[in-house]
Amino acid sequence: MSQSQTVQLAKDGKPQAIADLINRSLEPRGMSVKATFNNGCLVLQVEAQAPPEQQNTVSFIRNGLGKLRPQSVSRVIVRGRVVGQSTVVWQESFSLPSSDSIVSASQVAVEVNPAAIQRVPQHYKPVPISKTEVDALGTVTVKLTTRNLERLGLVLGTAVLTSACWLGFGALTHATRTPPSDSASSPVPVASTAPDEPSAHTIKGTFRLVDSDLGGTTSNCYGSGGYSDVEGGMPVTVRDGQGKIIATAKVSDGVHPADEKYANVVCEFAFQVDNVPKTDFYAIEVGHRGTLNYSFAEIQQKGWTVSLSLK
């Protein structure tokens, strides 16, 4: 595949093409990158024999993607790890502006080029305006301006008078209010109509393993063979956009769902993560078997409920 074809595929948002372009610069430095796409989020795994340097790596990728502007990619997650290890050494995320909000260089050149602005048909002739017409237009403009000022003064005056009336009414009501009796309780505060945003949330979810070779029983199943790490008690980790762990939990024992026809090849684990603080971005990882990435708006729209399947 030619470089121009790879660039076009990368602009179309194809993860493999994006990884190919980045690898052309990273591989000579002993690093490689793998790319996946999940819910409008581009996840880039940068690997090296030693932990990759975070600041320079993220800056290089951010600048390159900013120029490339791949379609359908609104957020990018960059993770650094050592080759052969599943643990993430560091993680950082950033947003990409949509292509619709970016003005091309050619558009800017046309807008600021006087020659382009002055291109008019050769047969165009300006129509002269007489002094009488100018005076008439000036009179109309002055009248409109004066009228607008009058309207503005009327609005401001009405607002001041209304405020004074309400203040006077409040003072009068306070002065004529009947004093409460000794048996009267303290005034009941009026509840606010706007509910406060909770400082913490609860994320509920399920992790499903679909495999023909499952171990255990109906009420306590688990993976085997290549899935021997999938079992009850697996850790659930929630990170923010900077890769910081903000909440943890564990999955329950696996069960075969009773309402499915082929329940014997499905092992389902439930989990609940409490006290999850509000942040702009959430990365939810179950064991070491994949990560779900959501913005705050996306996970709120899902009712703080997520699911992950492994087949």
pLDDT of residue 39: 65
pLDDT of residue 131: 53
Query: How are beta strands 31-38 and 41-48 bridged, if at all?
Result: antiparallel
Average pLDDT of the chain to the nearest whole number? 75
Set out the domains of the chain in order of their start, with CATH numbers.
Answer: 3-101 (3.30.70), 200-310 (2.60.40)
pLDDT of residue 280: 92
pLDDT of residue 160: 47
Q: Dump pLDDT digits (tens) for 121-140.
A: 444 444 455 555 445 445 44
Give the residues across from 206 on adjacent strands.
270, 307
pLDDT of residue 306: 94
| Stated pTM of the model | 0.44
The helix/strand/coil state of 126 is: coil
Say if residues 58 and 90 touch (Cβ distance below 8 Å).
Answer: no
Distance between CA atoms of 244 and 302, rounded to whole angstroms? 23
Q: Dump pLDDT digits (tens) for 145-201.
A: 455 555 555 545 555 444 444 444 444 444 445 455 454 445 555 554 445 668 899
Nearest to 302 by CA among 310, 294, 163: 294
**Dihedral sign, CA of 192, 197, 201, 204?**
positive
Query: How are beta strands 305-310 and 200-210 bridged, if at all?
Result: parallel
Here the tokens at position 260 are: 């499915």
Low-confidence stretches of the chain (pLDDT < 50) are 99-127, 133-134, 136-137, 139-145, 155, 160-176, 178, 181, 183-185, 192-194
